[in-house]
Amino acid sequence: MAKKQKGALKITLALGLVGILQKRKLDKASKNCKKAQASTLRSILEYAKDSEWGVKHKYAEILTASSDEELFKKFQENVPPCDYEDLRPYVERHKNGEANVLFPGKPMMYATTSGTTKEPKWIPITDEYYSNVYSKMSKLWLYSFMMHRPKVFYNVCTSIVGKATEGTAPDGTLYGSVSGVTRRDCPEFIKALYAESDQVYNISDYKARYYTIMRTGIEHDVHLVVTANPSTIVEMQNNVNEFFDAYVEDIEKGTLNENLPIAPEIRKIIAARFSPNPERAQELRELKAKYPNILPKHYWPNLQVLTTWKCGNTHVYLDKFKDSFPKDMLHQEFGYFASECRAGLVMNGADDTVLFPHMHYFEFVKAEELDSPNPTFLQLHEIKKGERYAIYVTTFAGLYRYNMNDLVEVTDFYGTIPTIQFVQKINGIISLTGEKLHEKQFITAVQQVEKETGNRLKFFVGFANIQESNYSFYYEFADKNTTQETAEKFSELVDKYLKEVNCEYETKRNSLRLKAPLSFRLQENSFETFKSRCIDEGARDGQFKLNLLMQDEVRHEKFKKLILE
């Protein structure tokens, strides 16, 4: 039976009240998503019409449209589709102190994330977006857990978010993680849910940070684990495997391992939350004696909800903790979510994101038209179940007809609102000589060969070699004794399967324009080592993503250093 923490009913009631209010608004929008989209677009245009961008792109004139159809048409005629590089000059002016450029006033903060160039993207977060969109969605998000697991807030949660503040723009505006800011600024009754201190995310050392998170979490009867990236779950369990006995000693004494490289001022704040807990320490020792391979289902038997990404290529990480959690726990998809836009939420307990037409304006281009110089842009109410689309967003934070560079599939409907699943980044399509090899095709090919040969993989990744006109396939085999010869035969079968499913790949291979793939065996825990090194170099854990088929020499060089000698 799940235990109740003090104040659990109060927290549940409070979240229920604010959550139900936001769900009613979503349900109202779901009755006519076209009407909701028109209303949202008008609100965004009205908000930004007097900014430099709004004046330049005739927002006031667009607002004179007398019908929804005319509004959508005028917007498309006056505002070009954008990617970040189109907006970067405007963002740079905001960063240097100018107001009323992309929107009224200045951003309250920036969220930074990787871009297509060496320079990161600085995504503006306005007060309007944060308070009227992001904050309200977060309340409904928490309520969505309660809808499926009413006891989810009977005890504490463990969450992995980015640092709220990582630095400042030239004009002094903060930049950091939106999820970190949301957690930092949440009401006190919600803060009571978190097992760990906010200060834990300021620990710079990768392993020390995970140690502190897990030393804190494992002391409690955690009911909810929140992290977007499933690879983080793998990292958490790796830390448990390495440091379980040290956790137990710390829990027994109420201490934080003195050998960890943690800044004194951060250590002082975190350690102040601890007190000796010999009872829990003894419970953990008994669990370890009973289960030598101790897993979350052992130390968190009452866990109600785990939420991570589950779509796209995440199966590589999900397979690593299969059967590690309690059987009756809900593993909920984190939803379609990026620094640029939290497009919607998972509301049905499955893996489908319900888009929020009352908070963002969406447009779509069919997958078949991605290469068209003049694609047809569809409205939310026009897209169809089973079809795949590139998604464009317009937000209250200065992104207008912004290409998310994501391929999504319409899975169903919530009322009239389409629900979607993320398929892959559109740049997950590689074309060295016109073969247009999809990341999904590569993943499927590897999985097929695993089944045919019985050679199981713990991890794999592929890179395009422009100069050599071929691909390099990297494998971490479950069997450490797998030979190089076996790896090469594995690639031969992958190559054969890719020819079968991609006619352009077959044509390019048969004509020798595309050479045979190269095969490399990876060291044990290769992905974990790669991720750790990236984070040590400044990558943000919560945003860490890795396509499994890439044309990226920087990352390729890192994997070359992980080849098994």
Task: Tell me the pLDDT tens digit for each residue of 417-444.
Answer: 999 999 877 867 787 776 878 888 999 9
Name the band, by pLDDT with cuts 50, 70 and 90, for residue 6.
Answer: low
Q: Which two tokens stand for residue 313?
A: 């290529």
CB of 334 within 8 A of CB of 305?
no
Helix (H, G, I), strand (E, B) or coil at 426: helix
Angle (CA) 290 292 293, round 5°: 120
Determine what percent of the chain is predicted with pLDDT higher than 90: 68
What pLDDT score does 278 carry?
A: 98
Q: Which two tokens stand for residue 445?
A: 């090919």
d(CA 218, CA 283): 11
Token match 């959690």: residue? 325
d(CA 174, CA 458): 39
- Please check the confidence at residue 31 and state whether its pLDDT lies above 50: yes
> What letter would DSSP give residue 134?
I
The beta strand positions in 494-554, using DSSP E, are: 518-521, 549-550
The residues pairing with 131 across neighbouring beta strands, listed in sequence order, are none
One-letter amino acid identity for 226? Answer: V
What pLDDT score does 371 carry?
A: 74
Name the band, by pLDDT with cuts 50, 70 and 90, for residue 318.
Answer: confident
The beta strand positions in 485-557, using DSSP E, are: 518-521, 549-550
Mean pLDDT of the 249-267 span: 96
What pLDDT score does 59 carry?
A: 98
Mean pLDDT of the 8-23 span: 88
CB proximity list for 490: less than 8 A, separation 6 or greater? 449, 453, 455, 475, 519
d(CA 321, CA 290): 20
Of 268, 281, 147, 149, the closest CA to residue 203 belongs to 268
d(CA 517, CA 470): 6
| Crossing angle for the helix pair 33-48 and 68-78, to the nearest 10 degrees | 50
CB proximity list for 309: less than 8 A, separation 6 or greater? 228, 229, 230, 333, 334, 422
CB of 106 within 8 A of CB of 94?
yes
> What letter would DSSP give residue 362?
E
What pLDDT score does 1 carry?
A: 38
What pLDDT score does 160 carry?
A: 87
- Please check the confidence at residue 115 and state whether its pLDDT lies above 70: no
d(CA 144, CA 347): 6
What pLDDT score does 542 carry?
A: 62
Task: Specify the range with the lowest mean pLDDT, choosing from 60-64, 176-180, 238-242.
Answer: 176-180
d(CA 40, CA 22): 16
Q: What is the per-residue pLDDT across 270-281, written as a single tens digit (0 to 9) for each?
A: 999 999 999 999
What pLDDT score does 4 carry?
A: 63
The model scores a pTM over 0.75: yes
Element of type H or E holding 46: helix 33-48
Of 354, 351, 347, the closest CA to residue 142 belongs to 347
Q: Is the dihedral of CA 53, 58, 60, 62 positive or negative?
A: negative
- Residue 168 has phi, psi (to 5 degrees) of -135, 150
- Please check the confidence at residue 459 and state whether its pLDDT lies above 60: yes
- Please check the confidence at residue 57 and state whether its pLDDT lies above 90: yes
What pLDDT score does 313 carry?
A: 65
d(CA 187, CA 133): 17
Q: Which two tokens stand for residue 429?
A: 């399509």
Could you tell me where in the chain the CATH 3.30.300 domains are found?
431-560
The CATH class that applies to domain 431-560 reads: alpha beta
Task: Specify the range with the lowest mean pLDDT, choosing from 19-23, 26-30, 396-400, 467-471.
Answer: 467-471
Q: Which two tokens stand for residue 479?
A: 């069997």
CB of 426 within 8 A of CB of 370?
yes
What pLDDT score does 256 carry?
A: 97
Task: Specify the range with the lowest mean pLDDT, choosing from 149-153, 319-323, 361-365, 504-508.
Answer: 504-508
What pLDDT score does 510 carry?
A: 83
Mean pLDDT of the 466-478 span: 92
Task: Specify the range with the lowest mean pLDDT, choosing from 59-68, 106-115, 356-365.
Answer: 106-115
More confident residue, 328 or 429: 328
What pLDDT score does 490 carry?
A: 98
- Please check the confidence at residue 503 and state whether its pLDDT lies above 90: no
